[in-house]
């Protein structure tokens, strides 16, 4: 390379002395004369392009990877660290996640919708070094609210009660018309329908056959669900009724007349006097006016 070419290279390098990367590239170009004029010219063009304002690099080194917030690339980024404390909002969110998951296991045929209840926003506790435990409290789930005890069991234990609200929906036996007290319920009186219930541990009926033939012990309005506590089995036998006693033994069946010594509903055991032998025996009510001996 002649002296003019070397001077051109030097002048370009001098114009960019404030760029450390330019100094590195000057050194490369000064050594290019050994490769001939073509290599030197290419190097000079590279320096010119590097020094143009607004060019692709513009005197700065581009990183191999760029990180945009929310992208998967987190090279050279500091690892995220959790706070040493946990606040009311986070505890409540964890509690809601627990009760929603538990509802799927405990009540797979029901629809229970949980939502956050009011908690003291000033609540702040030490973050537990292990998983928190959650224990639903008994006796508080009929008002649409439930208390859950959240507990940390590490070397510095703590516990707190977190309230949650819920709505319980389930397909239950529902009256299609008003049913009066002491009225026997027939198949035409009821239907299965999803209802919003008052509690989770309710005694509402879920099968039509469990209600047919029962006696309403209190009035039931049309559209309202039927519960076990509001029904009773009708008296199939009353004290003093003449009944048929059925006895089965080793494949042999015998029938005889008797007198009921007490009232009896379906499946109940009562005392019956055998009119032939005058003996008093125990028998189970199997139908209106019929009993079966209990061996």
- Domain endpoint, select from 232, 253, 268: 232
> Is 108 within the bounds of a domain?
yes
Which pLDDT score, from 0 to 100, does residue 60 have?
37
Percent of the chain residues topping a pLDDT of 70: 69
Which pLDDT score, from 0 to 100, does residue 201 have?
60
Burial 56-74 (b: 16+ CB within 10 A, else e): eeeeeeeeeeeeeeeeeee
Query: What residues contact 229, with CB distance under 8 A and at least 6 apart?
Result: 203
Domain match, 29 and 94 both: no
> Is 76 within the bounds of a domain?
no
> Is 67 within the bounds of a domain?
no
Structure tokens at 83: 């706070």
Q: What is the CATH number of the domain that holds 276?
A: 2.30.30.760
Domain match, 154 and 93 both: yes
> Is 72 within the bounds of a domain?
no
Task: Specify burial of residue 9 (Cβ count, 10 A radius: 0-12, 13-18, 19+).
Answer: buried
- Domain endpoint, select from 168, 184, 208: 168
Position 6 pLDDT exceeds 90:
no
Domain match, 21 and 47 both: yes
Domain match, 105 and 151 both: yes
* Banded pLDDT at 32 (limits 50, 70, 90): very low
Q: What's the mean pLDDT in 164-184? A: 93
> Is 13 within the bounds of a domain?
yes
> Is 75 within the bounds of a domain?
no
Which pLDDT score, from 0 to 100, does residue 106 have?
85
Min mean pLDDT across 90-104, 134-148, 204-218 is at 134-148
> Is 68 within the bounds of a domain?
no
* Banded pLDDT at 71 (limits 50, 70, 90): very low
Query: What residues contact 281, with CB distance under 8 A and at least 6 apart?
Result: 245, 271, 272, 273, 274, 293, 294
Domain match, 42 and 110 both: no
Q: What's the mean pLDDT in 20-49? A: 47
Which pLDDT score, from 0 to 100, does residue 81 have?
60
Number of structural domains (the chain) is 4
The answer, as to whether pTM is greater than 0.85, is: no
> Is 61 within the bounds of a domain?
no
Question: Could you tell me the residue range of the domain that residue 121 belongs to?
Answer: 85-168
Q: What's the mean pLDDT in 125-135? A: 95
């Amino acid at each position: 390379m002649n002296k003019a070419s070397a001077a051109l290279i030097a002048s370009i390098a001098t114009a960019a002395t404030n760029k450390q990367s330019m100094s590195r590239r000057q050194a490369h170009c000064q050594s290019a004369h050994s490769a001939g004029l073509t290599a030197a010219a290419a190097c000079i063009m590279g320096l010119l392009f590097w020094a143009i304002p607004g060019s692709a690099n513009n005197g700065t080194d581009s990183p191999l990877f760029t990180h945009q917030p929310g992208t998967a690339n987190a090279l050279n980024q500091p690892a995220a660290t959790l706070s040493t404390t946990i606040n009311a909002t986070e505890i409540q969110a964890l509690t809601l996640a627990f009760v929603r998951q538990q509802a799927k296991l405990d009540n797979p045929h029901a629809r229970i919708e949980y939502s956050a209840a009011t908690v003291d926003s000033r609540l702040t506790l030490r973050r537990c070094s292990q998983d928190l435990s959650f224990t639903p409290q008994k006796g508080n789930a009929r008002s649409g609210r439930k208390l859950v005890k959240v507990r940390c069991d590490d070397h510095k234990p703590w516990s707190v009660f977190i309230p949650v609200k819920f709505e319980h929906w389930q397909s239950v036996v529902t009256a299609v018309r008003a049913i009066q007290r002491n009225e026997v319920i027939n198949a035409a009186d009821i239907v299965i329908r999803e209802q919003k219930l008052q509690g989770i541990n309710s005694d509402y009926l879920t099968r039509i056959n469990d209600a047919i033939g029962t006696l309403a012990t209190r009035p039931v309005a049309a559209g309202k669900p039927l519960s076990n506590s509001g029904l009773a089995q009708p008296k199939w036998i009353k004290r003093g009724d003449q009944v048929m006693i059925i006895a089965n033994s080793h494949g042999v069946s015998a029938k005889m007349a008797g007198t009921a010594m007490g009232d009896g509903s379906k499946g109940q055991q009562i005392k019956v006097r055998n009119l032939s032998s005058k003996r008093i025996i125990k028998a189970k009510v199997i139908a209106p006016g019929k009993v079966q001996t209990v061996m």
